[in-house]
Amino acid sequence: MTGNPSGASSDWSVAFELKAASFTLPIIRLLRADIEAVAVDLGKRVEQAPEFFHNTPVVIDLSGFPTDGGEVEFPLLVGLLRGYGMIPFGVRGGNKAQNTAAEAMELAILADHEPRASRSERHQDPAPANAAPSAPARSPKRSSTLSDEQPPAVTPSGNFTMVTRPVRSGQRVYAVGCDLSVIAPVSAGAELMADGNIHVYGPLRGRALAGMKGNTDARIFCQDLQAELVSIAGHYRVSENIPVELRGIPVQIFLEQKLLRIERI
């Protein structure tokens, strides 16, 4: 078939049209590298409007990120966003190193019209006289608990963190750099996160995100699957997509060739 570059060919010979369009998209404006704080704030937003964030494309904006704020952990950040059902597809406002790291995660680099120098000047502005003193820098911990309410009892032990009391709605537990074991029920609206595996010896009704830093070998084990969301290294499945025959029974959840699988134990 001979093409017609003038565009005068009949409709049946045209495979596609290329057009420009404008879209209004949510922007995640990253202000610091504390991924734990990002997880807490993001969880609160999603709880307020879960349908708004589900399958929503988002842009990661680094224009407010301080020049001395450390590295952006894109694998962890992208996995976190995907775990909440969002679709991160692009980055704007980053420096050369950040853009290179973003491209490695197959994120698009979007045009940024604000000079980087002006951002660094903003971060050097003096604090107002009545501003509260900034919190001291926190050293990395092997495990930590994040919660809106009184956290459940957490016991670090070797390569895992153990929770011995129920994890209630609004509470979040993050096992940093290790596995997480919960020997109590996990309520709807609660959230479990671990860089390693997650074991729940009771009903799992909330959200469970294992392999938070990209560990594709991480797994989730639970005795009674009733979860709102499960995720391994950013690959997630919401409750509506969990087969009925796998709910309410002991299962293991893992990745196989980048596909999230749920199997009866």
CATH for 27-122 (3.90.1150.10, 3.40.630.30, 3.30.70.260, 3.40.50.920): 3.30.70.260
Would you say the CATH fold of 144-264 matches that of 27-122? no
pLDDT band at 47 (very low <50, low <70, confident <90, very high): confident
d(CA 151, CA 10): 67
Tell which CATH architecture fits domain 144-264: 3 Solenoid (2.160)
Residue predicted with more confidence, 199 or 233: 199
Sign of CA dihedral 69, 71, 73, 77: positive
Please tell me the predicted confidence (pLDDT) of residue 152. 58
pLDDT band at 34 (very low <50, low <70, confident <90, very high): confident
111: number of CA atoms within 13 Å, CB side?
Answer: 1
Residue 241's SS3 state is: helix
pLDDT band at 155 (very low <50, low <70, confident <90, very high): low
pLDDT band at 5 (very low <50, low <70, confident <90, very high): low
Residue 20 neighbours by CB under 8 Å, 6+ apart:
none
pLDDT band at 163 (very low <50, low <70, confident <90, very high): very high
Please tell me the predicted confidence (pLDDT) of residue 157. 53
Please tell me the predicted confidence (pLDDT) of residue 158. 60
Please tell me the predicted confidence (pLDDT) of residue 237. 85
- Which tens digits make up the pLDDT trace of 72-95? 888 888 888 988 888 999 999 999
Spans of all domains in the chain = 27-122, 144-264
d(CA 145, CA 100): 32
Mean pLDDT of 255-262: 92
Burial of residue 21, with CB atoms counted within 10 A of its CB: 0-12 exposed, 13-18 middle, 19 or more buried: exposed
Contacts of 232-239 with CB under 8 Å at 24 or more apart are 232/260, 233/79, 234/75, 234/78, 234/79, 234/80, 234/82, 234/83, 235/82, 235/259, 235/260, 236/82, 236/83, 236/85, 236/209, 236/260, 237/262, 238/54, 238/85
The neighbouring-strand residues paired with 155 are 162
State the Rg of the chain over Cα. 22
CA angle 52, 256, 105 (to 5 degrees): 55
The residue length of the chain stands at 265
The CA distances from residue 243 to 94, 113, 207, 222, 239, in Å, are 41, 47, 16, 15, 9
| Longest distance between any two alpha carbons in the chain, whole Å | 74
- Which tens digits make up the pLDDT trace of 178-195? 999 999 999 998 889 999
Structure tokens at 72: 């952006």
pTM of the model: 0.51
